[in-house]
Amino acid sequence: MRVLLVEDDAAIADGLARALRAEHFAVDVASNGEDGGHLGATELYDAAVLDLGLPKRDGLSVLRDWRAAGRDLPVLILTARDGWSEKVEGFKAGADDYVVKPFRVEEVVMRLRALVRRAAGHAAARVTCGPLAFDAQLGTFELDGLPLKLTAFEWRVLSALMLRREVVIERADLIERVYEGDADVDSNSIEVIIGRLRRKIGAQMIETVRGRGYRLTADGS
């Protein structure tokens, strides 16, 4: 999962980015509304955390532009403005959730997971595909009822496949969801990660669709 964090307070941005990366998210950080607006309009993200009081452009105008352009990524507003009128304006602009500063980073992580899960069409936190189960709220995987240990990159790829199980996900889409914007991506990196996942969950569960990408399937057909 890849998240855009638009926050001008360096301490808050650094702390939240570290917490999200510790939970295996890929995180791109923008410190002003102009850069954040551009990234949200041009890059693929599973969700965005957007401050309202930003330099260059305020968060509400950024969000309105994203929605006007048809960008439907889930957006969690993060702000010191706790008045009801400000919350109403945020939701009218297209926000999906709202957290007021000061906050606990654990709450932001849980809310983001819920937003991503619901955006993928899953009402329940537990998502299954054959012997594989994903608790999308806690971020944990099980195989045949036992915990599955994954690296951060493996987790990002498998969570993307799991939330869209039985659907082909293009290789370019996976790359965008796995790596941060400034990453130096090797040409066969996704194939390497897919190979490691097949060894962990069973080769038959991840189908290669030639010329397109990959599909997580319960029956391996």
Judge whether residue 191 has pLDDT over 60. Answer: yes
The answer for 176, left when phi > 0, alpha when psi is -120 to 50, beta otherwise, is alpha
pLDDT per residue as tens digits for the range 179-190? 887 666 676 889
Q: Do 22 and 39 fall within a single domain? A: yes
Beta strands per DSSP E along the chain: 2-6, 26-30, 47-51, 75-79, 97-100, 126-129, 132-135, 140-143, 146-147, 169-170, 206-209, 213-216
Q: Into how many domains does the chain fold?
A: 2
Q: In the listed set 88, 119, 150, which residue is the last one of a domain according to the structure?
A: 119
Residue 101's pLDDT band (cuts 50, 70, 90): confident
- State whether 22 and 115 are in the same domain: yes
Rounded Cα distance, 192 and 154, in Å: 10
Q: What is the pTM of this model?
A: 0.89
Q: What is the pLDDT of residue 64?
A: 96
Q: Same structural domain for residues 11 and 113?
A: yes
State whether 100 and 158 are in the same domain.
no
Q: Is the pLDDT of residue 220 over 80?
A: no
The chain-wide mean pLDDT, for the chain, equals: 92
- Whether residue 30 is found in the same domain as residue 49: yes
Domain span at 193? 126-216
Compute the average pLDDT of residues 64-80: 93
Residues 100 and 152 occupy one common structural domain: no
Per-residue model confidence as pLDDT tens digits over 73-99: 999 998 887 677 778 888 999 999 999
Residue 169 placed within a domain: yes
Judge whether 38 lies within some domain: yes
Do 191 and 106 share a structural domain?
Answer: no
Distance CA 204, CA 199 (A): 10
Q: Let me know if residue 152 belongs to a domain.
A: yes
Q: What is the mean pLDDT of residues 204-210?
A: 93
Residues 141 and 200 in one domain: yes
Number of CB atoms found within 10 A of residue 131's CB: 14
Q: Are residues 50 and 115 in the same domain?
A: yes
- Contact by Cβ (8 Å): 52, 60: yes
- Check residue 211 and give its pLDDT: 87
CATH code at position 35: 3.40.50.2300
Residues 81 and 187 in one domain: no
Residues 6 and 103 in one domain: yes
User: Which residue has tokens 């999906």?
Assistant: 96
Question: The domain that contains 141 carries what CATH number?
Answer: 1.10.10.10
